[in-house]
Chains A and B, each alone.
Chain A
């Protein structure tokens, strides 16, 4: 058995791991770290509202046992803005009305940032025609396929897709 222990880092600050291994990363964020931006939707991995970034990869914090994340770097919606300046993707969500009630929004934004990193790495999707291609993009059905793990009960999908597409185009230009 190894003890690579140490705390988990959340938005740059160390947070002690729970003594009880039943605590999810989501509950650690919301109840121990006091970060309420990450939302508990279904708590069973079906809705994507609890999406956060771990070492730059998007994951579902509701299905993550916090004890598994010792020494890892977690970024939540609270960690994206620079002081009072929102992240470009946050600004794009406002401009494109990428939400109505806002409950799914933190998960949508973290998921989209993780997705952009995957695309930039060349990770294919189920709708990618040529799996041998070294590069990936967000044309056609790609964006919606890659974001399908984030549900929006208000149905703000068109605004979400526009916000993500515009921000992504800005990043790759």
Chain B
């Protein structure tokens, strides 16, 4: 690691003031940042520790407000999350390991960097995220784990979070605070697609702080599921993951909220599939058609074409499972 200073923020205002210095970075549980520091992928001159800020998880008008410093385990095990938003519990529990979930914060999970191996290998490969404009060695060389949706010729890295996939499906909003004041952005609008500037990953202004995540009240009658497909049964990043919330009445889909992980540079809300589903029959045939409509936009590369069919099958299976659960 290159040298940096360390300061612990006492409150949000303090944090934003401390991070006003160029080269500052916020530090949560450190589970991603410390690794990036050690590899010199991240080279901040100052760390502002925000783990002492709000970690409360509270009812908010039938919805839920989660402080950004809440640890992943604390969210996954919270009674209100398990009963109102089981898809969020399940997604968090699908990610990382017990040890890492005890350390990692909600804010840090939202801002974690891709696990693209080319991004991490400072000495070995070119990466437009690390060194804007130098090129991307992932495009030409083994890339079976990379993006099939939303990527660009400059970057094909995927967003690694499971939690964010559930939050995207749940219509979460993210509370931000900067030097100029506070604002709210939808989670689906927090992360940017790479385009020609993959080094810019979110809409956050320099020094802007994530202070919390807000969830709207659950939709009555929706059933939900999170399924993660990966190379080993546990403790691995997703090849494809699906967060789904589905409402069905008399065999007709009344509401559908769907998001995908492991396939895109950001948590991918599957709006095309949702439009195809709503008002249609709750059948496996219709589910597959909706999944195929979403994946019609896929641009697979040499090694990752399998993800297209895998995503279609996983979406279909998850939705079909929810309907069977409903009938049972």
Which residues of A are in contact with B by a Cβ distance under 8 Å? 1-4, 20-22, 24, 43-45, 48, 51, 57-60, 62-65, 67-68, 111, 114-115, 118, 121-126, 128, 131-132, 144-150
A22 touching B37 by the CB < 8 A rule?
A: yes
Checking B8, B83, B96, B102 against A1 with a beta-carbon cut-off of 8 angstroms, the contacting residue is B8
Neighbouring A residues of B103 by C-beta, 8 Å: 59-60, 63-64
- B47-102 contacts to A, CB under 8 A, are 47, 49, 51-52, 73, 76-77, 82-83, 86, 89-90, 93-94, 96-100, 102
B98 touching A118 by the CB < 8 A rule?
A: yes
Known: A63-B103, A122-B77. 14 other contacts (CB 8 A): A4-B8, A21-B4, A22-B3, A51-B99, A59-B103, A63-B29, A63-B30, A63-B100, A64-B34, A64-B103, A65-B34, A126-B94, A148-B97, A149-B100
B6 touching A146 by the CB < 8 A rule?
A: no
Bound form: Cα–Cα A134–B94 in Å:
19
Bound form: Cα–Cα A45–B32 in Å:
9
Bound form: Cα–Cα A1–B99 in Å:
28
Neighbouring B residues of A62 by C-beta, 8 Å: 34
Which residues of B are in contact with A by a Cβ distance under 8 Å? 1, 3-10, 14, 18, 27, 29-31, 34-35, 37-38, 47, 49, 51-52, 73, 76-77, 82-83, 86, 89-90, 93-94, 96-100, 102-103, 228, 233-235
Neighbouring A residues of B99 by C-beta, 8 Å: 48, 51, 58-60, 111, 114, 149
Neighbouring B residues of A45 by C-beta, 8 Å: 31, 35, 100
A126 touching B77 by the CB < 8 A rule?
A: no
Bound form: Cα–Cα A57–B8 in Å:
22
Closest 4 CB pairs of A and B: A149-B97, A21-B6, A148-B234, A2-B10
Most A Cβ at <10 Å: residue of B51, B77, B233, B234: B234
Q: How far in angstroms is the closest Cβ of chain B from A115? A: 6
Checking A22, A68, A149 against B1 with a beta-carbon cut-off of 8 angstroms, the contacting residue is A22
Given contacts A2-B10, A22-B1, contact A148 B235 (CB under 8 A): yes
Given contacts A2-B8, A124-B77, A149-B235, contact A63 B35 (CB under 8 A): yes
Bound form: Cα–Cα A2–B83 in Å:
36
Checking A4, A65, A126 against B93 with a beta-carbon cut-off of 8 angstroms, the contacting residue is A126
A4 closest partner in B (C-beta) = B8
Most B Cβ at <10 Å: residue of A3, A59, A125, A147: A59
